[in-house]
Amino acid sequence: MAFLIQDLLNLKVMEHAKFSGSPAWLSKPVTGITVMDAPDIADWLKGGEVILTSLYPIRSHSDQDMKDWVTHLSAKHISALIVKIDKVFAKIPEVITESCENHSIPIITIPIDVAFVDIMYPVMERLFDSKVTELQYFKTVHDQFTALSLADAGMEQIIKTLEKLIGNPITILDRYLHCIASTSQQVAVFHDAQRLQTDQFFSTNFAFYTQSAAFPELSDQQYTQLVVPVNGVNNVKIYLVINEIQHATVPLDFIAIENATIALSLELVKQFAVAEVERKFQNDLIDDLLAQRTDSLESIYERANVIGWDLEGEYTVILFRLCVNTHVESNKKVMFQHNQLQKHYHLLGEIISFHLPGAIVRTKSDVVIVLWKIPIDKGSKRVWLEHVKKTLESIQAHLKPQKEELTLQVGIGSPAFSILDVPTSYKAAQNALELSGTFDQTHFITSFDELGIYRLLYEIDNTEHLQKFIPESLNKLLHYSQSSGNDLVQTLRVFLQCNQNVTKTAKALYIHYKTVAYRIQRIKDIMGIDFESADEVLSVQVGLKIVDLLEVASRNSRR
């Protein structure tokens, strides 16, 4: 047990001593005791000592010198001053009492006939006994937590052991301050947490802070929490929270807390190492599946069984991509692409895993790949596709408030009726993703099965052959737009999407009705198109889709 100021005052030799200071200071721990034989005593202190003095070394100090002397003692965090009166001063100088009060240093006065050695011997004996007790307790606690780490007991067993040792419920929070483990449901949820600006009298080998919080399960009563940040590798952090429900944390508790903190830190490192190995194994398996680098169906199932994946049934591949919004300034786009986009992809992966706990997820630098198992009860195309889209909209809604600068694009592949069909679904998802938002700016989800004529055009790999199907009238407009810089092609595209309705086109393009009418007339003049001819309009529509595909192919070739 720690030796406190209160324990010092309870010694027989201190029966006539007088304590001056806040009652809270009685809880200050005492780590040593020494006699002041020179004014520069502060230079030789380590902290936590009690200073015995008659004030003789500073008898000739000015008031300012005395204030500076107390300030230096405070900087060394002494626990108390024991002053023998009537030897040098009839009473302690007022400047010293005031300075000690300001620096939270208690003053204990003793009669002139009490020898310093009569105080030092019993204090040193108690300190020695206390240190032996602490060492014995440290060994016992250290052995317990070491055994838990070696047995791979996990975080929950670590905090259960800590609760038994210190008698207060324990909570573990993740980096977002969400509860991930708790020894009591009463403290799993709290609110109105505010840091406390109180003095701490405990010297520890770990960082911590205290805060006040209200617990709904305890009638919203306020309690103090001791919060210890626990760091792992790769910026992984959790918070160990000691909820002082039963009693305040005492010095001996910090030995148990320190050992629990070390055990939790080791657990984080171990979890990270295991997760890295599993992630590498999983990513290799997904990459081999998508690239058709598989020896046999049996080998696929054997590798999947190692990591607990169930590859039976139907799957579809879904690709997620983040794009910087067009309204973001160009210099900020560069910042996103180089500094922040990877963090956003990591966040996206966490959101996907939250909404799809059973999905197989692979995060790459510029895309998140998801192998989504189609539920048996949603086997029909229309039903499962609606179910997928509804979930994707929830994912987008979860992401959007946090990252307004980004747009989420999603490509849904075709169903894979066996695991060997996954590469085909992956290719379809890539095609859908490349066209996401190209032909319909109002939707961020593109399903390959809903691409219509695009699916037929995708079957033609020869881009030169595709170009032959672009009508001459559309080529004229393309060449004109390239040379003049006027985006009449986009106006034509939206005009046809709006069933040649000028008013709807103006609304879609956010321009005036007369501007659209003028552009349509210019398009007619350049192309010579007859918008009344269904065959001619269809030919131009197909040509625009070919232009889309050629643009996608060009982007892919530049990557």
Least reliable range by pLDDT among 152-161, 262-271, 307-316 = 307-316
Find the CATH number of the domain harbouring 537.
1.10.10.2840
Which pLDDT does position 211 carry in this prediction? 93
What is the pLDDT at residue 287?
A: 87
Q: Domain residues for 502? A: 463-558
To the nearest 10°, the Cα dihedral for 153, 154, 160, 165? 70
Same domain, 98 and 18: yes
pLDDT value for 554: 63
Q: 93, 127, 161 — which closes off a domain?
A: 127
Short-list 516, 467, 513, 503, CA closest to 524: 516
Q: Could you tell me which of 289, 326, 331, 280 has the C-alpha nearest to residue 307? A: 280
Q: Are strands 49-53 and 80-84 parallel, antiparallel or unpaired?
A: parallel
Q: Which of 33-37, 282-286, 514-518 is the least confident region?
A: 282-286
Q: HSE (CB half, 13 Å, CA atoms) of 103?
A: 23
Q: What is the CATH number of the domain that holds 446?
A: 3.30.70.270
Dist. CA 462–CA 167, nearest whole Å: 74
Q: Considering the chain, what percentage of its residues have pLDDT values greater than 70?
A: 86
Higher pLDDT, 439 or 42: 42
- CA of 291: how far to CAs of 272, 349, 378, 445, in Å? 28, 22, 28, 24
Per-residue model confidence as pLDDT tens digits over 359-389: 888 888 788 899 988 876 655 666 778 888 8
Average pLDDT, the chain: 84
110 and 74 share one domain: yes
Q: Are residues 42 and 165 in the same domain?
A: no
3-state secondary structure of 169: coil
Residues 184 and 97 in one domain: no
In a domain, 134, yes or no: no
Residue 48: other Cβ atoms inside 10 A: 20
Kindly state whether residue 371 falls inside one of the protein's structural domains: yes
- 467 and 446 housed in the same domain: no
Largest CA distance in the chain: 119
> Of the candidates 223, 262, 220, 261, which has an alpha carbon nearest to the alpha carbon of residue 243?
223
Per the domain annotation, does 139 fall within a domain? no
Q: Are 451 and 431 in contact (CB under 8 A)?
A: yes
442 confidence band (pLDDT: 50, 70, 90): very low
Would residue 367 count as lying in a domain? yes
Confidence of residue 329 (pLDDT cuts 50, 70, 90): very low
Average confidence (pLDDT) over 15-23: 94
Q: Domain for residue 292, yes or no?
A: no
- Rounded to an integer, what distance in angstroms lies between the CA atom of residue 208 and that of residue 304? 43
The reply to whether 321 and 434 lie within a common domain is yes
Q: Do 350 and 445 reside in the same domain of the chain?
A: yes
Tell whether 181 and 220 lie within a shared domain.
Answer: yes
In this predicted structure, the answer to whether residue 5 has a pLDDT above a threshold of 80 is yes
- Is residue 375 domain-shared with residue 444, that is, in the same domain? yes
100 is a domain residue: yes
Residue 167: pLDDT above 60? yes
441 has pLDDT over 70: no
State the pLDDT confidence band at 81, using cuts at 50, 70 and 90.
Answer: very high
Quick check: 392 pLDDT over 50?
yes
DSSP per residue, 176-241: TS-EEEES-GGGS--EEEEE---------SS--EEEEEEEGGGTTEEEEEEEEEEE-STT-EEEEE
pLDDT at 308 over 60: yes
pLDDT of 404 reads: 62
Q: Is residue 425 in some structural domain?
A: yes
Indicate whether 328 and 446 sit together in one domain: yes
Between CA 77 and CA 72 the distance in angstroms is: 9
CATH number of the CATH domain containing 108: 3.40.1390.20
With a threshold of 0.85, does the pTM exceed it?
no
The CA distance from 396 to 541, in Å, is 31
Give the mean model confidence (pLDDT) for residues 13-39.
92
Domain count, the chain: 4
* Residues 322, 393 within the same domain: yes
Q: What is the pLDDT of residue 257?
A: 95
Contact in structure between 26 and 6 (CB atoms under 8 Å): yes
Domain shared by 62 and 119, yes or no: yes
Whether residue 267 is predicted with pLDDT greater than 70 in this model: the reply is yes
Q: Is residue 26 included in any domain, yes or no? A: yes
Residue 288 has pLDDT above 90, yes or no: no
The residue from 396, 428, 451 where one domain ends is 451
DSSP readout, 32-88?
Answer: EEEE--SGGGGGG--SSEEEEE-SGGGTT--HHHHHHHHHHHHHTT--EEEEE-SSS
Mean pLDDT value across residues 252-267: 93
